[in-house]
Amino acid sequence: MKKEPIIFSRTENCPIRTVLDRLGDKWSILVILTLGGVEKMRFNELQKSIGDVSQRMLAVTLRTLEADGLVKRTIYPEIPPRVEYNITERGLSLLPHIQGLTKWADENMPAIKRSRKKFV
């Protein structure tokens, strides 16, 4: 039996396009994976953990993830102010899917690298 191709909506209301737009950047998945492994983290700890993300890009990524309800930001009224980030229930529900993609990438990267060498 021949399968029919999946047809995706060409509007901004298409769920898969909307999610991929948010998570398809360079940093979002790394932030979710990092926060998914801890109870909470401060900005500088998160930046050090990821490594090569700039302060600006991390701030933009965290704001975007917070807007989607994947990350929660808590500000403590101290001097100086303390800000902590943690993954939300929605973020936790996404985590196993990202971990599956991570596992797939780890398992397939050697073959992908060989394919890339042949392609060039």
Domains in the chain and their CATH numbers?
15-119 (1.10.10.10)
Quote the pLDDT of residue 41. 97
Distance, CA of 82 to CA of 63 (rounded, Å): 16
Q: pTM (2 decimals)?
A: 0.84
Q: What angle do CA 20, 59, 50 make, to 5 degrees?
A: 75
What letter represents residue 85's amino acid?
Answer: Y
Quote the pLDDT of residue 14. 82
- The token duo for 9 is 């909506």
CA 12 to chain centre: 20
Task: Report the 10 Å Cβ neighbour count for 111.
Answer: 9
pLDDT interval class at 9 (50, 70, 90): low
The pLDDT tens digits for 45-82 are 999 999 999 999 999 999 999 999 999 999 999 998 89
